[in-house]
A and B are shown apart, each in its own frame.
Chain A
Amino acid sequence: MTARSVSITFAGSGGAGVMTAGNMLLDAAGRAGWYAYMTRSSGAQIRGGEAAAMMRLSTSPVQSHDDHFDVLVAIDWQNVGRFSAEIPMTSDGLVLGDPDGGDFPEQIGAKGARCADIPFKKMAKEIEGGRPNMIALGAVAGLVGLPEDAVLGVVRDSLAKKGEAARTASEASVRAGMAFAAGLPACPRLAAAEGQSERLWSITGNEAAGLGAVRGGIRFVAAYPITPGTEVLEWLAPNLAKLGGVLVQAEDELASINQIIGASYAGVPSLTATSGPGLALMTESLGLAVASETPITVVNVMRGGPSTGIPVKSEQSDLNIALYGLHGDAPHLVVAPNSLADCAFSTQWAVHLADSLQTAAIVLSDQSLGQSRATIAPPLDPGFRAIRLMPEGEAAERYRRYTNTASGVSPMAVPGMKGYQYTADGLEHNEYGTPSSAAADHSAQLDKRLRKLAVHDYGQHWADIEGDGDIAVLTWGSTTGPVREALERFRASGGRARLVSIRLISPVRPEQLAAALAGVARVLVVEQSHGAQFHRYLRAHYDLPGSVRAFHRPGPLPIRPNEIFRQLADWS
């Protein structure tokens, strides 16, 4: 039995090496020409807690998990039962575990999948320096039909620095696992990889966001660590240095956003990354960036909220604060990547827009995009750069920093430009930047700051629009992945429907959406938020045609394709 997509979970206690096994399987699949996608789940413990690497291997690009898992491999059973809700198994799924690995969890057993033993510990003891996780890697590779040389190549490269003995032991462990797999009950084997013309990349969404940032021209980053955004900053730290840029670890999020405002004011494109609680702290100064017209980009990797919420799990519930968190009338940009690879594009585009429009941009990524790893076709550099309109020539008269131009964008001088000294101000001001509480100045500057966002040509990037038919699924961000898959199934079952995934959340594009929804009789809104934040946003800013249904629920469990498919199939 071959399949175009196979889903596998490695689970075990902390230190058992499930993430290593998962990463190696992903890389091996990528080298052999398959697409792979992996999310991580772990207990709250910093070290030693239970961990799960949830994988999906596929013959075509993959952006989200399937409905179920075909294989669960537990290197040991310690606390693995806690993941049961996250690992729905197919009815004929295969559960592999070590009979010496502790008590088999009831929650897993209740699912009715087939069970088989792999004596990881015993097998590892028979190999000098043998590793149970490498045996598990070999077993899974053997079950799904990954070529041995692809797996061993990854093992050799990954352990190049660990020495001959470690490498030999791991290779032997993988081979032992593959040999053992031949005697295990069958599970779906991956169909042959469709020949890729280029070598795939292995990348996480947070790394992709970092890449988009430097591609866009970011050369200053201020950083305060927060889960699940930290990896954006950790990727940027060494890579910015290589580009001659600077990353400063700040004392808190208030400092990090103000540092980037300072660096950007000084002429260097600047960015920070955070998550919900950090974004909340930054909102006052986001308003400062808007009022002083200082371009900045903030990547917000959403997690479960409110308050500390669920730091390690995904949710689309920072939409409201990103849109409405700023006090006063403070128009700004909100851009949302809708796939792991799109984290690169959307971040780069946001950086370009922030500098072009001299305002604050928030990139709304989330944990399921940011902390997932996938093999993807190399994302091309779309060419967006942070380019600012600057004054030219000698300053003839007193510089009007906030000239009320037709486009709303006024030339922005940077320190060092003789004769262009001005004071940037969060106080309302006149065209020179001088503080003013006059009604005419307030109204003129509010109009200017709104106009520059409204009249800009955002091209086709404001949304991804696919398919046709009189049903439309309207979504944003990471739920776009399962929606795409649900729509493929719906079309395969004879249905017709279109996808509209909005990337430019703010400013709103009502005319463009109306055109995208022309002829639509039914609209299904899909989002991962308890309060239906996206649905309410749509209701506030757009006219939705026909009848509208909202499918929304909170994290931490991902929205799966079959849930969306059922919404479509049952709506008749």
Chain B
Amino acid sequence: MEATSTCPSYSARDYKSEVKPVWCPGCGDYSVLGSITKALAELSIPPERVALVSGIGCSSRLPAYTNVFGFHGVHGRALPIATGIKVSRPELTVIASGGDGDGFSIGGNHFMHACRRNVDMTYIVMDNEVYGMTKGQASPTTAPDWEKSKLTPQGTGINPFHPLVIALAAGANFIARGFSGDQNGTAQLITEAIRHPGFSFVQLLSPCVTFRPEQRDWKDMVHPAAVDPTDDPARAARRLMTDDGFNVGVLYRGSRKPFQPERQASVDSVADLEKEFVL
């Protein structure tokens, strides 16, 4: 746990491992991996001082492809693991990553409470509106009329989840949307998200070319947010509720104090605690 003596500079390559990804050719997640490693190089954080946590799904495979301390946990629970790491070791840079099913369906409760708790960490969701690893089922962000899943052949018929609005309502301190196809722009968003105190949420539109080939068109649909980010939740809510889902950039910057319990001992030893039991 020793601190590094000087401040060496790093390149994105220093954050990559030699493990070959399981992703399909053309998957948006390759580019996200590049954006994350570029952001870490930009921030010049020593790889051993970064913890990258994920759940289960295609995008959750990401930690093994990096050279930082990784944790590939169970489905939906990346945020609690990341919370435990950050609260117990606040000097680490903690990132959680995963997909839309992992984060908004099975992990939905943790998403809300992580926003609310506002621990200083960054949550990157690679959103492709589909469960890819299980071969193409509708996720919480899938449109209600998508009929390509064998599980819901008539479409889900239910409204998609709006993660940015939920994040804002639940108390996230930084909200951004990016597109995986813009690797440098996304790296910049991630850099800002890591720098911003408290819980930063970054939704990355990351196409699934296998089960949602139509998402290749996203590159023509995304557009930079027309206005500067706001720190006013009411204004941010209005914008997020009415945007077209392809508005990319930093959309909200809050100033809520991050959750970080004091860790200052007031007794010398456990024996001091035992006095309360003595009759």
Contacts and interface: CB of A to CB of B under 8 A. Distances in A.
A425 interface: yes
A255 B261 CA distance: 18
A459 to B, nearest CB: 22
B71 A265 contact: yes
B270 A199 contact: no
Most chain A CB atoms below 10 A, which of B67, B70, B80: B80
Contact of B83 (A248, A285, A381): A248
Contact of A258 (B2, B68, B73, B112): B73
Nearest to B61: A435
Contact of B270 (A215, A250, A285): A215
A545 interface: no
B270 A243 contact: yes
Interface in A65-82: none
A127 interface: no
Interface stretch (B85-93, B180-188, B198-206): B85-93
B109 A251 contact: yes
A201 B279 contact: yes
A27 B63 CA distance: 55
A260 interface: yes
Nearest to A200: B279
Contacts of B85: 262-263, 265-266, 415
A562 B93 CA distance: 60
Nearest to B92: A415
A434 interface: yes
A378 B278 contact: yes
Contacts of B217: none
Q: Main SS of chain B's interface residues?
A: mixed
A261 B80 CA distance: 9
Interface size class of A (residues with CB under 8 A): 35 or more
A62 to B, nearest CB: 15
B81 interface: yes
Interface stretch (B30-38, B44-52, B155-163, B228-236): B44-52
A426 B84 contact: no
Nearest to A220: B88
A98 interface: no
Interface string B134-173: 0000000000000000000000000000000000000000
Nearest to B266: A242
Contact of A421 (B68, B82, B277): B68
B64 interface: yes
A267 B74 contact: no
B277 A202 contact: yes
Contacts of A215: 270
Contacts of A241: 261-262, 266
Nearest to A219: B88
Contact of B84 (A260, A292, A427): A260
Contacts of A207: 277
Contact of A292 (B71, B82, B89): B71
Given A211-B274, A214-B273, A267-B89, A245 B263 contact: yes
Contacts of A381: 270-271
Contacts of A378: 274, 277-278
Nearest to B70: A423
B7 interface: no
A242 B46 contact: no
Contact of A423 (B63, B81, B91, B274): B63
15 contacts: A200-B279, A215-B270, A242-B265, A246-B261, A248-B87, A255-B79, A255-B113, A261-B73, A266-B85, A266-B89, A270-B88, A284-B74, A381-B270, A414-B1, A426-B74
By Cβ-Cβ distance, the 9 closest A-B pairs, closest first, are: A262-B84, A423-B70, A244-B265, A258-B80, A262-B81, A259-B84, A263-B84, A416-B1, A263-B88
Interface of B: 1-2, 4, 19, 46-51, 53, 61, 63-64, 66-74, 76-77, 79-85, 87-89, 91-92, 109-110, 112-113, 261-267, 270-274, 277-279
Given A246-B261, A248-B83, A416-B89, 15 more contacts: A201-B277, A241-B266, A243-B267, A248-B87, A254-B109, A255-B83, A261-B81, A261-B84, A263-B84, A264-B84, A285-B73, A381-B270, A381-B271, A422-B70, A425-B72
